[in-house]
């Protein structure tokens, strides 16, 4: 019997397509959160809930690529999030 994964089944080394697993792995990391409005927040990811509400610390706000403000804590409502990326 072969130890190779069958076609269509993920290999143990394959990355998960589960966003919750990805977000739990990057908690504490520097992230970039782009909003539907085009505003971008960059900071340390503290937590994300099931609705994609996001808490960031040491956050910078960028508008059209230009630094506009610095905040201690930022809470972003999940329905405003376009994407989250690791810096």
> pLDDT tens digits for 18-46?
777 888 889 999 999 999 999 999 999 99
| CA dist list (Å): 17 to 25, 40, 43, 67, 75 | 13, 24, 24, 32, 25
Mention every residue, 6+ apart, whose C-beta is less than 8 A from residue 2. none
Confirm whether pTM is higher than 0.85.
Answer: no
pLDDT bin (cut points 50, 70, 90) of residue 11 is: very low
Q: Does domain 17-86 have CATH number 2.30.30.100?
A: yes
Is residue 43 within 8 Å of residue 74, measured between CB atoms? yes
Note the pLDDT of residue 7.
53
% of the chain exceeding 90 in pLDDT:
66
């Amino acid at each position: 019997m072969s130890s190779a994964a069958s076609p269509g089944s993920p290999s143990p080394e394959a990355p998960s397509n589960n966003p919750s697993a990805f977000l739990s792995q990057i908690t504490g990391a520097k992230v970039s959160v782009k909003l539907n409005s085009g505003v971008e927040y960059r900071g340390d990811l503290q937590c994300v809930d099931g609705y994609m509400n996001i808490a960031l610390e040491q956050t910078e706000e960028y508008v059209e690529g230009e630094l506009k403000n610095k905040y201690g804590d930022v809470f972003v409502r999940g329905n405003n999030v376009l994407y989250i990326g690791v810096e």
